[in-house]
Amino acid sequence: MRDVLSLYSEKVMEHFKNPRNVGEIENPDGIGHVGNPVCGDIMELYIKVKDEVIVDAKFKTFGCGAAIATSSMVTELVKGKTVEGALKISNHAVAEALGGLPPIKMHCSLLAEEALKSAIEDYLTKSKKGKARRHKENAKCKIQ
Amino acid sequence: MRRIYLDYAATTPTHPEVVKAMLPYFTDVFGNPSSIYSYGQEAKGAIEEARSKVADLIGAQSEELVFTSGGTEADNFAIKGVAYTNEHKGNHIITTPIEHHAGMETCKSLERRGVRVTYLPVDEHGLVDPDNVRRAITDKTILISVMHANNEMGTIEPIAEIGKIAREARIYFHTDAVQTVGHIPVDVNELGVDLLSMSAHKLYGPKGVGALYVRGGTKLLPFMHGGEQERRRRASTENVPGIVGFGRAIELAKQEMDEEAERLTYLRDQLIKGLLERIDHIRLNGHLTKRLLNNVNVSVDFVEGESMLLNLDLEGICASTGSACSSSSLEPSYVLLALGLSPELAHGSLRFTLGRENTSKDIDYVLEVLPKIVAKLRAMSPLLKSRR
């Protein structure tokens, strides 16, 4: 039983209160599905790609405040990026864009990074432009 | 913004009357109770007065009470104390998988030192079956430790029945009564316990003070070595203001118990009923009737607890969750998992624990706010879609 007030930065809370790009994309070009119910967070990321540029991204997330805020932020960060450029977005970049995360919540940003990579790989596989390299879901609940 | 505190099982505000009773013992009557001059003896008198008030509430003798730094210390003292004192007799402890961390981690620490611990199963409501206690007893069993009421999901255990079994088998019986003392009647003889843990800050007393009831004749090695305080059972200069506050809090709890019990039970039931009516795919955790009168614990499908808590906090409501999103393990409440809940449901749990300041208006407010929060979070939940 924990109190979570003031755990997060203003920016995290802002994205938590008003998450951007919630939902699904019809006929997406790539879907990333990562997480594990045992650990308490599951993230789905949908991307729409046009001419190798991510033109839209949406998410659905079951998880804590940090999981929701990082999902929201990652969708903001990828829009307008090339597929190659989006692959370079790290969990630290997501956390940084949110004004930082408590150390204990850094794993949530990793989930966002994994969801993004998984969605891009799904896109690359579908478009046969890359080799299928399935991302493994977190089987264990681990703080990264 | 209005602030509504619904986390009284975590801690309670110190009652103003309690603070008033404590204040002189910080300044005017600051003497060390072990000193023979009047300052010291006055402080000693105050401790003994508090001891008799606490003993009186639970049907014990004054000399059977040892003041501690709180419930955690009382649990450590009881469990380790019995284990160390009875090493020559046996090395088996019977407990449950739903004990507070204070009991659970103490048992685990003993396991690492070679003590065998049986964790009895609990049913879907969190109840221990006394027959299982009877069956678990071996000739090496030295202690049975079962909490009186669970802090998380509120189930009240059949302590008196287990007490009879323990007495027949002549095995020490400990209960953690941190959530019950001062809230519902607790009598050490009716319960048949040899050791009982209490904490002041759960009953509008100060933090940092509690007590362990030790039935007369129970052999227990000292928990702290040093001076001769607490009849040599717990060395350290007494926390005089804390102990005085504990005594005053107990006195107030006794005066107000019946009325408060009736009021809180009504509010609790109003909240449970309202939540089940207004939110679909929600379940009550813990026993419906054998339940702490101020505890509401629900699991909401498809949403995670911390995100509900944060949203409630934004609306001024303080509650808690069994989701472990901010702990180092990330695994959800072991108590809820022991009831057979799926990890998703354990992560989706919310606990409201009511107290002195709460009114019907608070309940109405939660019932107005929470369904909207759940709807908002469900709209972004990938779990909901996959179940459709």
Domain ranges of chain B: 4-11+257-387, 16-252
Q: Tokens for B229?
A: 């305080």
Looking at the DSSP bridge assignments, the partners of residue A35 are A42
Exposure string over B157-186, b if 16+ CB within 10 A, otherwise e:
bbbebbbbbbeeeebbbbbbbbbbbbbbeb
- E-assigned strands of B146-294? 172-176, 195-199, 210-214, 282-284
Using an 8 Å CB-CB cutoff, list chain A residues near B150: none
Whole-prediction pTM value?
A: 0.93
- What is the spatial distance between Cα A82 and Cα A52, in angstroms, rounded to a whole number? 6
Inter-chain residue contact A2 with B310, CB threshold 8 Å: no
If 0-12 CB within 10 Å is exposed, 13-18 middle and 19+ buried, where does residue B236 land? middle
B95 contacts B142 by C-beta, under 8 angstroms: no
Interface with chain B: mutation pick from A64, A70, A110, highest number of B CBs within 10 Å: A64
Q: Which of A2, A38, A60 sits opposite B382 (nearest CB)?
A: A60
> If you search the block for the tokens 């997330």, which residue do you land on?
A61
Determine the distance in angstroms separating the CA of B266 from the nearest CA of chain A, rounded to an integer: 24
Residue A108 is among the residues annotated as catalytic for this protein: yes
- Interchain pair A37, B343: CB under 8 A: yes
| Strand partners for A62 | A42
- Judged by a CB distance cut-off of 8 A, whether residue A137 touches chain B is no
What does the pLDDT look like over A59-84, one tens digit per residue? 999 999 999 999 999 999 999 999 99
Q: Which residues of B touch A60 (CB under 8 A)?
A: 380-382, 385
d(CA B128, CA B134): 11
The b/e string for B347-382 (b: 16+ C-beta within 10 A; e otherwise) is bbbbbbbbbbebeeebbebbbebbbebbebbbebbb
pLDDT at A143 over 70: no
- SS3 for A1-57 is CCCCCCCCCHHHHHHHHCCCCECCCCCCCEEEEEEECCCCEEEEEEEEEECCEEEEE
> Are B381 and A62 a contacting pair at CB < 8 A?
yes
Number of Cβ within a 10 Å radius of residue B13: 14
Confidence at A4, pLDDT banded by 50, 70, 90? very low
Judge: domain A10-136, CATH 3.90.1010.10. yes
User: In this predicted structure, what is the pLDDT of residue A39?
Assistant: 82
Q: Which of A1, A16, A66 sits opposite B152 (nearest CB)?
A: A1
Question: Chain B contacts of A61, Cβ < 8 Å?
Answer: 380-382
| Contact residues for B161 (Cβ-Cβ < 8 A; gap 6+) | B130
Among candidates B194, B231, B235, B177, which has minimal Cα distance to B57? B177
b/e code B282-304 from CB counts within 10 Å (16+ = b): bebbbbeeebbbbbbbbbbbbbb
Residue of A100, A49, A39 whose CA lies nearest to A73: A100
CA B70 to CA B89: how far, in whole Å? 29
Residue in B302, B307, B331 nearest the CB of A64: B307
Which of B288, B310, B325, B330 is the catalytic position? B325
Task: Give A121 to chain B, closest Cα distance, Å.
Answer: 20
Confidence at B328, pLDDT banded by 50, 70, 90: low
pLDDT at A136 over 50: no
pLDDT for A128 equals 72
Minimum Cα–Cα distance from A42: chain B residue: B382
pLDDT greater at residue B326 or residue A50 = A50
Q: Domains of chain A: which residue ranges?
A: 10-136
Strand ranges across the sheet with A41-50: A30-36, A41-50, A53-62
Find out whether B338 and B286 touch, Cβ atoms under 8 Å.
no
- Asked if residue B376 lies in contact with residue B311, where contact means CB atoms within 8 angstroms, the answer is yes
Distance between CA atoms of B384 and B373, rounded to whole angstroms? 15
Distance between CA atoms of B289 and B286, rounded to whole angstroms? 9
- In angstroms, the separation between the Cα of residue A31 and the nearest Cα of chain B is 12
Q: Which of B328, B331, B385 sits opposite A60 (nearest CB)?
A: B385
Residue A45 has φ and ψ, to the nearest 5°, of: -125, 130
Asked about A141 being catalytic, the answer comes back as no
Binned at pLDDT 50, 70 and 90, residue B332 comes out as confident
Task: Output the six-digit token pair for B243.
Answer: 């102990």
**What residue of A is the nearest CA neighbor of B305?**
A64
Question: Domain B16-252 classified CATH 1.20.1260.10?
Answer: no
Helix H or strand E segment including B202 = none
Beta-carbon count within 10 A of A77 CB: 19
Q: Cβ distance B336 to B285 under 8 Å?
A: yes
Q: Is the ipTM of this complex over 0.90?
A: no
Q: How far separated are the first and last CA of chain B, in Å rounded? A: 38
Cα A144 from Cα A106, distance rounded (Å): 7
Catalytic residue from among A39, A98, A116, A124: A39
β-pairing, B172-176 with B141-145?
parallel
Question: Which one of B322, B331, B381 has the shortest CB-CB distance to A141?
Answer: B331
Q: Does A65 touch chain B (CB under 8 A)?
A: yes
What is the average per-residue pLDDT within A23-32?
96
β-bridge mates for residue B122, sequence order: B128
H/E element, B256: helix B240-278
Confidence of residue A58 (pLDDT cuts 50, 70, 90): very high
Supply the pLDDT for residue A127: 86
| B299 in Cβ contact with B383 (< 8 Å) | no
Amino acid at B239: N
Annotated binding residues of B for pyridoxal 5'-phosphate: 71-72, 151, 179, 199-201, 237
* The CATH number of domain B4-11+257-387, selected from 3.30.300.30, 3.90.1150.10, 1.10.645.10, 3.40.50.2300: 3.90.1150.10
* pLDDT greater than 70 at residue B263: yes
DSSP A83-114: HHHHHT--HHHHHHHTT---GGGHHHHHHHHH
How far apart CA A13 and CA A54 sit, in angstroms, is 26
Is the pLDDT score of A116 beyond 60?
yes
CA distance A4 to chain B (A): 7
Annotated active-site residue in A54, A78, A108, A119: A108
Q: What is the CB neighbour count within 10 angstroms for residue B226?
A: 11
Q: Which chain A residue has its CA at the smallest distance from B301's CA?
A: A62
Name, in order, each residue with C-beta under 8 angstroms of B228's C-beta and a sequence gap of 6 or more. B34, B235
Q: State the pLDDT confidence band at B185, using cuts at 50, 70 and 90.
A: very high
- In angstroms, rounded to a whole number, what is the distance separating the alpha carbons of residues A59 and B282? 24
**pLDDT score, position A135:** 47
Find the mean pLDDT for residues B331-350.
93
